[in-house]
């Protein structure tokens, strides 16, 4: 079996793949697209991000382990969708780090941390302006759009803050022990109307693209907070900027944007009460290790002819 490692995600932990009990396992590390195309030509497994070119030149390829949880790239590779190549992702690796990042963003908004940092830079003691402007999140209705592994990671941490949880997911998933019922997409208007805090944790698909548009934002409470941590493109960014400028939300935070890096002319840069982090929510050393652990476990399963973990429905895109 030949495995090509083309991803940087988890590379510090590639030693976890040493001495696996898989006969004749050949592991090749590539660092450029050109090298990946060359090495994948006779490979059985790829760890990284595929392309139409990779599928075309790799007739032996049987399985791709994506190094990310989101696999929206499949929509751009019909050759992969139509092929017999298995696709798996690193679902479950990112839940803890993204869950923590959600609350870092939320608490920064509700406790006015960006304003305090600005006062600090100005050497200004802003208690007079800042007093009675913070918000307590305990007891807030918190909607999670997308209740997969990341959504569950958020829900787990939300219980410590005594938040009342609501969730919508396209699949009939079990919300226990965090909530009794995960609603289908038909309940999205109710989720929007009831949420004091809305967290976007859904995958980007044809169905979720600009799902949170101007109409959806208008359904939200005017004092609600919006946190976006899964994929850009689910929230209409122009509509979000307009809502913030009009004071129709208390605040928002985005870790992912439709185009990355965020273009200099994006309306998000100047939107009030908005925190932007540059796609950092999933970042942590333990997460990198978990990605490689998923690859390692799946390699053993693949070698033994067992079902793989985290198999993606290539037509659904998750």
Do the Cβ atoms of 259 and 253 come closer than 8 Å? no
Which strands, in side-by-side order, build the sheet including 2-5?
Answer: 26-29, 2-5, 45-47, 63-65, 86-88
Element (H, E) at 165: strand 164-168
CA 132 to chain centre: 34
The answer to whether residue 231 is catalytic is yes
Looking only at Cα atoms, what is the longest distance across the chain? 70
Q: Is the peptide bond before 103 cis (omega within 30 degrees of 0)?
A: no
SS3 10: coil
Which residue in 118, 181, 260, 306 is the catalytic one?
A: 260
Half-sphere exposure of 16 (CA within 13 A, CB side): 19
In eight-state DSSP terms, residue 46 is E
Instruction: Look up residue 41 and give its two tokens.
Output: 């030509």
* Long-range contact pairs involving 272-277 (C-beta distance under 8 Å, separation at least 24): 272/244, 272/245, 273/109, 273/244, 273/249, 274/240, 274/241, 274/244, 275/105, 275/108, 275/109, 275/114, 275/251, 277/101, 277/105, 277/253
The answer to whether residue 210 is catalytic is no
Enumerate helices (H) and strands (E) in the chain, giving the number of each: 11, 11
Which residue in 279, 289, 296, 301 is the catalytic one?
A: 279
Which residue in 101, 231, 258, 288 is the catalytic one?
A: 231
Q: Are strands 45-47 and 63-65 parallel, antiparallel or unpaired?
A: parallel
Do the Cβ atoms of 77 and 315 come closer than 8 Å? no
Task: List, by residue number, the catalytic residues.
Answer: 231, 260, 279
């Amino acid at each position: 079996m030949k495995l090509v490692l083309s991803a940087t995600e988890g590379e510090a932990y590639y030693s976890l793949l040493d001495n696996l009990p898989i006969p004749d396992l050949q592991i090749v590390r590539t660092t450029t697209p050109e090298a990946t195309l060359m090495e994948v030509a006779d490979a059985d497994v790829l760890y990284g991000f595929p392309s139409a070119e990779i599928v075309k030149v790799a007739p032996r390829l049987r399985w791709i382990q994506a190094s990310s949880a989101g696999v929206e790239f499949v929509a751009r590779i019909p050759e992969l969708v139509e092929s017999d190549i298995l696709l798996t992702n690193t679902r479950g690796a990112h839940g803890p780090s993204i869950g923590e990042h959600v609350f870092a963003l939320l608490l920064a908004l509700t406790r006015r941390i960006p304003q305090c940092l600005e006062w600090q830079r100005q050497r200004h003691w802003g208690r007079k302006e800042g007093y009675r402007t913070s918000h307590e999140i305990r007891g807030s209705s918190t909607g999670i759009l997308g209740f997969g592994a990341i959504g569950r990671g958020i829900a787990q941490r939300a219980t410590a803050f005594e938040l009342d949880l609501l969730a919508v997911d396209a699949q009939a998933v079990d919300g226990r022990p965090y909530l009794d019922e995960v609603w289908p997409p038909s309940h999205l208007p109710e989720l929007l109307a009831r949420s004091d805090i809305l967290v976007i944790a859904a995958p980007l698909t044809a169905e979720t693209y600009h799902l949170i548009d101007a109409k959806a934002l208008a359904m939200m409470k005017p004092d609600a907070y919006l946190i976006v941590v899964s994929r850009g493109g689910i929230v209409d960014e122009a509509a979000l900027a307009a809502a913030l400028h009009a004071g129709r939300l208390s605040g928002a935070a985005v870790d992912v944007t439709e185009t990355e890096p965020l273009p200099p002319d994006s309306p998000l840069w100047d939107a009030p009460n908005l925190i932007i982090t540059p796609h950092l929510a999933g970042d942590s050393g333990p997460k990198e290790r978990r990605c490689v652990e998923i690859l390692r476990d799946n390699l053993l399963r693949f070698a033994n002819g067992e079902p793989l973990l985290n198999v993606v429905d290539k037509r659904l895109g998750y």
